[in-house]
Amino acid sequence: MNVRNEIRRLATSYLPASQVSFWIGVAGVLVGLAAGILVAAQPVYLFAGAIAFAIIINFFADFERTAIALLILRSSLDIFSAQQIPALFALGLAALTLLYVAAAFLERRTIQTDWFWWFLLAWVMLQGLWPVLCILGGLGLNASPYLADNVREWTRLFSWAMVYLLVMQMKDRVAPQKIIALLFFSLIPPIIVGMLQKYANFLLPSILALKKPAIVSQFVPAEVVSGTRINSTFAHPNNFVLYLLLFICLAFWQLLRGSKPRWMWLILLFLMANLYVGTGAIFGLVMLVTALGIAIAPRLKFYNALGGIMLLLLVIVLFASTDYGRSRLDGIANTPLLNPDIDVSRAIVMSFSDYNSFNWRIAQWYYLLRAWLYEPWFGYGLGTGVYLSPYNLVPHNAYIRALAEGGIIGLVTFVALLVAQAIRLLQLLRQAPKGSDRWNFCWSLLALLIATSLGMATDNVWSGTAFYFYWWTVMGIAGWNWQERKDRSAGDRAMLLTMETAIEVKN
pLDDT confidence of residue 507? 46
- CA nearest 228: which of 205, 246, 212, 243? 212
- Cβ neighbors of 16 (< 8 A, separation 6 or more) are none
Give me the sign of the Cα torsion angle 260, 264, 269, 275.
negative
**Is residue 501 a part of any domain in this protein?**
no
> Judging by beta carbons within 10 Å of its beta carbon (0-12, 13-18, 19+), is residue 322 exposed, middle or buried?
middle
* Of 279 and 10, more confident: 279
pLDDT over 90 at 241, yes or no: yes
Among 185-199, 217-231, 316-330, name the most confident range: 185-199
C-alpha span between 245 and 232 (Å, rounded)? 14
Average pLDDT over residues 468-484: 94
> Judging by beta carbons within 10 Å of its beta carbon (0-12, 13-18, 19+), is residue 413 exposed, middle or buried?
middle
- 233 by DSSP, 3-state: which? coil
**Is residue 47 a part of any domain in this protein?**
no
pLDDT confidence of residue 273? 92
Residue 448 domain boundaries: 117-492
Which of 35-44, 191-200, 385-394 has the lowest average pLDDT? 35-44
Average pLDDT over residues 285-304: 82
Q: Are residues 164 and 117 in contact, defined by beta-carbon separation less than 8 angstroms?
A: yes
> What does the longest C-alpha to C-alpha distance in the chain come to?
91
In sequence order, the β-bridge partners of residue 215 are 221
**Is residue 200 a part of any domain in this protein?**
yes
Residue 495, CB half-sphere, CA atoms under 13 Å: how many? 5
Average pLDDT over residues 224-236: 77
pLDDT confidence of residue 53? 72
Torsional class of 42: left (φ above 0), alpha (ψ -120 to 50), beta (otherwise): beta
The predicted-structure confidence for 322-367, as pLDDT tens digits, reads as follows 776 677 666 666 666 666 667 667 666 666 666 677 888 888 999 9
pLDDT over 50 at 221, yes or no: no
pLDDT confidence of residue 418? 98
- 174 by DSSP, 3-state: which? coil
pTM confidence score:
0.84
pLDDT confidence of residue 83? 83
C-alpha span between 247 and 400 (Å, rounded)? 28
User: What pLDDT band is residue 185 in, cutting at 50, 70 and 90?
Assistant: very high
* Of 143 and 356, more confident: 143
Q: Are residues 141 and 380 in contact, defined by beta-carbon separation less than 8 angstroms?
A: yes
pLDDT over 50 at 212, yes or no: yes
pLDDT confidence of residue 351? 61
C-alpha span between 52 and 467 (Å, rounded)? 23
**Is residue 6 a part of any domain in this protein?**
no
pLDDT over 60 at 370, yes or no: yes
**Is residue 26 a part of any domain in this protein?**
no
Average pLDDT over residues 412-426: 98
pLDDT confidence of residue 173? 94
pLDDT over 90 at 437, yes or no: yes
Average pLDDT over residues 239-246: 97
Which of 279-283, 294-298, 323-327 has the lowest average pLDDT? 323-327
Angle at CA of residue 381, ends 242 and 476, nearest 5°: 40
* Of 239 and 42, more confident: 239
pLDDT confidence of residue 447? 97
Query: What percentage of the chain has pLDDT greater than the value 70?
Result: 74
pLDDT over 90 at 167, yes or no: yes
The predicted-structure confidence for 87-125, as pLDDT tens digits, reads as follows 989 999 999 999 999 999 999 999 999 999 999 999 999
pLDDT confidence of residue 47? 65
**Is residue 475 a part of any domain in this protein?**
yes
pLDDT confidence of residue 37? 52
pLDDT over 90 at 280, yes or no: no
The predicted-structure confidence for 14-43, as pLDDT tens digits, reads as follows 444 445 445 544 454 455 555 455 445 556
pLDDT over 50 at 489, yes or no: no
**Is residue 44 a part of any domain in this protein?**
no
**Is residue 225 a part of any domain in this protein?**
yes
Give me the sign of the Cα torsion angle 59, 61, 65, 69.
negative
Question: ω into residue 237 within 30 of 0, thus cis?
Answer: no
Q: Mean pLDDT, the chain, as a whole number?
A: 83
Which amino acid does the sequence have at 365? W
In the chain, the number of structural domains is 1
